[in-house]
A and B are shown apart, each in its own frame.
Chain A
Amino acid sequence: MEDVERIYKQTGYTMTGNVIFYMSVAGMLVGTIGMLLSRNIIKKILSLGIVETSINTLYTGISSRRSIIPPIVNGDFSIAYADPVPQAVIITGIVISFALLCLSLVFAIIIYNKYHTMDIGTIESNFEREKE
């Protein structure tokens, strides 16, 4: 803990530095390119999950900029705690992304029962032919 105190007094940031922000942006890029290039519905949904996880990492990084001590106060207000507001944000975000994942899998089941394939090329040509 003395290292954390020393680095915080010198720079205002903890040891993780800016690496975590760059990694989360890289994770979002990987997820977006995965959504573009995959031909299976389940892989698209998994790539969306990668994007969501990177956002969670970003917010955890924001929250631990001041310190990495959990913000549970035992009566000692002098040491620096981690920031609790982004942690609240990210809990809501995790719940919402979980609900969206479940809903997208339900839609995948309905589509599979109707079109009997998970490949988007076949589904889209059937969809457009039905419309005429």
Chain B
Amino acid sequence: MIFLPVLGGIICLILKERRQLCAGLALLATIINGSFLPFYLFGKFDVSLGNWGELGIRLAMDDLAIPFILSTFLVMLAITLNSLRKNYDGFFYSLILIMYGTLNSIFLSRDLFNVFVTVELVSIISFILISYEKKGRQAWASLKYLLLSSLGLNFFLLGIGLVYMETGSFAMEGLNSVSSIASVLIFGGLAVKSGLFLFSMWLPDAHSNAPVEVSPILSGLVVKIDVYLSIRFVQYESFGWLKDEFVYIGIFSAIAGIIFAVNSKDAKRLLAYSTISQVGFMMVTCDKVSSWHGFSHAVFKTLLFLVAGNISTRLGTKKYKDWSGRITRIEYLFLLVGSLAISGFPLTSGCVTKEVIIHGACCPWLKVLMMLSSIGTAMVFSKFIFLKPSKEMGKLPIGTLLAYSILSITIMIHGIVGFKIYMSESFLMIMVGIGLYFLYRKFMRPLPVFFERIDNSLAVYLIMFLFSIGFVILST
């Protein structure tokens, strides 16, 4: 499961010059790996690699990792299918396959140091992939991400060192009895890579300037690493303060992301801000239900990024106001499916997972604020719903059409299978959102990007880190 894509990646690296062969090999490796999935997913295993017993690398499969591994398979399949016509050279496919194997191994690892190594590996590959086309804008966005992410992971390493000093091993069960300063460092170190609002302000620039196939990987999978690790860490005792803090941080980032997304003029920046908002939504209840929301968010965000990316390369502009009247009907159909899914329309998979989160909220004011952010999401994506398509049907290349339909069918199946009767109230929220969009249309203009400059984003991250330390001290 882990080694197969990495092996495929290494073979692609050797055969760098033959482009068609590498593309076909990438597709084959992804499909073979996917066909192993039904055997692994429903069993549990717990193995310790190497013969060193307790000190070896531990991999284990659990209930919690199932939606994430499914989502890596679907996202990678869609990306490989989409990029068949584009004639990338073999290095791109080898990086994508190595990243697939490494992401799988993050979701399966049970060992703190293994987490560090694989997270750094994913980060390095994503830095290279963001600036794959060697433009100046991409290099600056990637450098910002690099500096902030390495600083955060150094804090994480400091936290792991403290855990080792106190318990004597790197296993995750050692987190039960650790002092709170180590848990703050571990949380703060991982929070840079998550998409929470003030912790990671490199996100809008990096996700919107990345090439077309790379944005879905970043926004659908790399951001979910921190969601998965936080859900796993909250189950241990010394992280009990984290559940309370996530309520405040999550809801703040859900609403702030929507405010920025409503006012933006660029299609990919809008999608990046909505990622910030959805991750905040997921972190509010750190439970198994938010891991399924992670799965459905990865699927429909991939669909939206691929459609928006393909349209913007065909028309040459990213501002969605210039798109009306020029997009074909097939592309409009898939854009509509994606936008309805993210707003929570009752038969799609977004509705299933969102309503379970909203119903599981603990206090009434939290429910009201979450409904407010759902209304905001509907308002943002009605910008895409009300673009006018042109009269022609249009043709898409076979790979792209296959990728879009696989993602849409997954959305529909998940929506129909999990439908329960209390989910009809999401229809009301969508209507309110669309109404608000028509009211607010005249007042939209882009908000200042003060927090995304490099010094300011670092300063804001450090301020939030100190705020978390204060929260820990106050709650114990």
Contacts and interface: CB of A to CB of B under 8 A. Distances in A.
Interface of A: 25, 28, 32, 35-36, 41, 44-45, 48, 51-52, 55, 58-59, 62, 65, 85-86, 89, 92-93, 96-97, 99-100, 103-104, 107-108, 110-111, 113-115, 120, 123-124, 127-128, 130-131
29 contacts: A32-B151, A32-B462, A36-B458, A36-B459, A51-B154, A55-B154, A55-B158, A58-B161, A59-B161, A85-B164, A85-B170, A86-B164, A96-B120, A97-B150, A100-B124, A103-B124, A103-B127, A104-B147, A107-B127, A107-B131, A110-B136, A110-B139, A113-B136, A114-B136, A120-B453, A123-B140, A124-B453, A127-B137, A130-B137
A7 to B, nearest CB: 19
Given A52-B154, A55-B158, A131-B266, 13 more contacts: A36-B455, A51-B151, A51-B154, A55-B154, A100-B120, A100-B124, A103-B124, A103-B127, A107-B139, A108-B143, A120-B454, A120-B455, A124-B453
Contacts of B127: 103, 107
B113 A89 contact: yes
B150 A111 contact: no
Interface residues of B, number: 35
Contacts of A55: 154, 157-158, 161
Contact of B143 (A51, A85, A111): A111
A54 to B, nearest CB: 8
Given A103-B127, A127-B140, A35 B151 contact: yes
A107 B454 contact: no
B146 interface: yes
A58 B140 contact: no
List the 6 closest pairs (A to B, CB-CB), nearest first: A114-B136, A110-B139, A107-B143, A107-B139, A96-B120, A111-B139
Contact of B161 (A32, A52, A62): A62
Contacts of A89: 113, 170
A108 B113 CA distance: 30
Main secondary structure of the interface of B (DSSP, over half): helix
B449 interface: yes
A127 B142 CA distance: 13
A94 to B, nearest CB: 12
Interface string B149-172: 011001001100100110000100
Contact of B151 (A25, A48, A58): A48
Contacts of B11: none
Given A100-B146, A107-B146, A110-B131, A124 B454 contact: yes
B55 interface: yes
A93 B453 CA distance: 28
A100 to B, nearest CB: 5
B157 to A, nearest CB: 5
Contacts of B128: 103
Interface of B: 55, 113, 117, 120, 124, 127-128, 131, 134-137, 139-140, 142-143, 146-147, 150-151, 154, 157-158, 161, 164-165, 170, 266, 449, 453-455, 458-459, 462
Contacts of A85: 55, 164, 170
A55 B136 CA distance: 32
A97 B128 CA distance: 15
A28 B153 CA distance: 12
Contacts of A107: 127, 131, 139-140, 142-143, 146
Contacts of B146: 100, 103-104, 107
Nearest to B146: A104
B157 A92 contact: no
Nearest to A120: B454
A93 B157 CA distance: 9
Given A48-B151, A52-B154, A114 B139 contact: yes
Given A89-B113, A104-B143, A114-B139, A128 B161 contact: no
Contacts of A25: 158
A6 B55 CA distance: 30
A58 B113 contact: no
A35 B458 contact: yes
Contacts of B147: 35, 44-45, 48, 104
A35 B113 CA distance: 26
A52 B153 CA distance: 10
A58 B454 CA distance: 28
A130 B165 CA distance: 49
Nearest to B120: A96
Contacts of A123: 140
Nearest to A113: B136
B235 to A, nearest CB: 24
Contact of B165 (A44, A62, A92): A62
A73 to B, nearest CB: 16
Contacts of A28: 154, 158
Q: Which of B157, B449, B462 gathers the greatest number of chain A CB atoms within 10 Å?
A: B157
A62 B164 contact: yes
Contacts of B117: 92, 96
A123 B205 CA distance: 14
Contact of A86 (B120, B136, B140, B161): B161
Given A48-B151, A93-B157, A41 B113 contact: no
